[in-house]
Amino acid sequence: MAEQSRLPTHPILVWALCALAGILVGVSGFDSASNHPTYLPPALRYIDPEFLAHDWWLNSAHHYHFVFFALVAGLAKLGILEIGLALLNIAAVAIATHACFRVIQHMRAEYPVVALSLVIALLLASSGFCTVGATFLFSASLQPSTIATTATILAIAAFLDGRLGHCGRWLALAGAFHANFLAVNTAAFGLAYGLAITQGRPWRDIMSREFMLGLVRLLWPSLVITAISAPLILSFLTESVRPDIAAEGDWIFFKFAVPFHYYPPAYLIQFPSFLALEVLGFVWTGRAITDLQTRRMALGLQIALAILIWSATALTTLVFIEPIARLFFWRLAPFALLLATLITIIGMMRLAAQTDRETNIRHDRLRLRITLCTIPVLALSGLMLDQWLPTAPFQPASVLFLAMSIVALIRYGASETTAIGRPVLIGVSCTALTFGVLAQPSPSTHYSLLYESAAQRAEQDLFRYVAKSTPRDAQFLIPPTLDLFRLQAGRAVVVDFKALPMNLSSIVEWYHRLEAISGTRKPNTPNEIALGYQTLNAARIEQLRCRYGISHAVFEQPTTFAAPGWSEVFRNRSFKVLQFTGGAPCPTRDTTPDRLAAARG
């Protein structure tokens, strides 16, 4: 493979590419597109007991991700929370990308730096391999799932290399930062190991001493984390509520709040593109991986991921089994796509390099045909349906796969080929990375530390005013879409969309508060809530003041809202803040029994 030397693979170059990937994914500290509004306040309360001391959500909801809690608390104590989260996010993406390069090297890929550039381009173009269940690998800001994702990718690299002990430790780290990873990774890698070991062997070997020792090395660290996490897990499973509250809470959770995660019938259209890329991974495995043991490990992992994801989909679509939905096996989907993409790229690069052509020519023809058949599926459905290029009516990832297929097809059809020169390889890498950057969503969707849109500046002006000019015990009524208000303004709010409690009784209270602020009854979608808030009138705000003790209200501009006793104290191009300055006392303070207490019976 003399061609490999035509493009340098010096560690500095590779790490520079990986760091570039981290920067291009996003440099964001506090980001409403992430779950920062729910993950950060508990740690900030720990540092400052007066932080959101009067906020119902922070005082009543169950909080989790305690290792991430400790990380956030430490950064906040040092006064570097926002920049610290941004830098750690870059580091996490860079380390994960470097793990992908290790996989590329382990599979002895031709043109490894070009392969890495293509992986990074696809990571950017597909918004972190965003796929079924609104799952993805990375976002612009550090979350518990970010560190768990990096650890899982490191575990994949170790698993393919046969280093089960290292793999097990990475899996435990992922589970320590995110409990969902603990559950699904244990199932996926345990099953993958069993499938890998039994390939070409009798099934009775699954009970052999060799297999059991390997399984113990793989899973014992995760079992330790499971034992430590057991009290937290049991607290969610053993909550005691009335049957009617439990039924209402389940409906709110699955059908109203997060159907895009936990209710597959809501996103069935995303599965064809997921299946298309899965198929590519299986099709190209034989061409990409020459080492038999590595091929068995890769096939075992691919099959295990497919079994768990598709079984969970069937058990929540053909029927609906709630515990399966809550386990959220779709968390594994982006990793299945990453693995399939790595294998496909390596296989195509091997074909383009024309190695072992005589022994693979018939199979290569079939692989190329299947690949060309899957590309229209990617183009029509896409990894993420709203991620379109502004200049072309197809999904960005399909463009890169089509380009790779064309190059492989040309090289395959040539009677004689010469080695690809360094200028061409550099050009391919730079073109792919440029395309990936241009295909990314607009940076205005994130609170980047490098870029701030006009809309974000207006939000920041609002948050600064509230933080500096209102009392810490103020109670705010806000548009439910204003996700970062609680975190950045540091004031209690009646309710918003982002801060979804996880225990049933609080979920029901959250939903009823959304009903109250919007004037709706049994809304089916968050959009109904947002539209209802825009119709807020004097009578409803008085009811809300008496029920929840609100002292301030925020409105999006333009608005004509006015009510007796409410005076404007802040205005900019996007928002207006009113303060209650006095009026008739509430005739009777809302004496309805507290729903949380009533729900718990």
pLDDT tens string 339-358 = 999 999 999 888 888 755 55
Tokens 């929840």 label which residue?
A: 548
Q: What is the dihedral of CA 374, 375, 381, 384, to 10 degrees?
A: 110
Residue 487 DSSP class: I
- Structure-block tokens of residue 92: 């996490």
Model pLDDT for residues 249-263, shown as the tens digit of each residue: 999 999 999 999 999
Q: What is the dihedral of CA 471, 476, 479, 485, to 10 degrees?
A: 40
Contacts of 283 (CB under 8 A, 6+ apart): 344, 366, 367, 370, 371
pLDDT of residue 224 exceeding 90, the answer is yes
8 Å CB contact between 285 and 295: yes
The closest of 104, 294, 105, 343 to 196, measured between CA atoms, is: 294
Q: What pLDDT was estimated at residue 464?
A: 96
- Structure-block tokens of residue 293: 């043991």
Q: What pLDDT was estimated at residue 155?
A: 98
- Name the helix (H) or strand (E) containing 570: strand 566-571
pLDDT of residue 359 exceeding 60, the answer is no
Q: What pLDDT was estimated at residue 7?
A: 54
Q: What pLDDT was estimated at residue 5?
A: 40
pLDDT of residue 583 exceeding 70, the answer is yes
For residue 443, name the pLDDT band (cuts at 50, 70, 90).
Answer: low
The predicted model gives 33-51 an average pLDDT of 91
Model pLDDT for residues 298-332, shown as the tens digit of each residue: 999 999 999 999 999 999 999 999 999 999 999 99
Say what percent of the chain tops pLDDT 90: 60
Q: What pLDDT was estimated at residue 356?
A: 55
Alpha-helical (H) ranges within 271-413 are 271-288, 292-317, 322-327, 333-352, 357-380, 396-413
- Structure-block tokens of residue 378: 């990617």
For residue 601, name the pLDDT band (cuts at 50, 70, 90).
Answer: very low
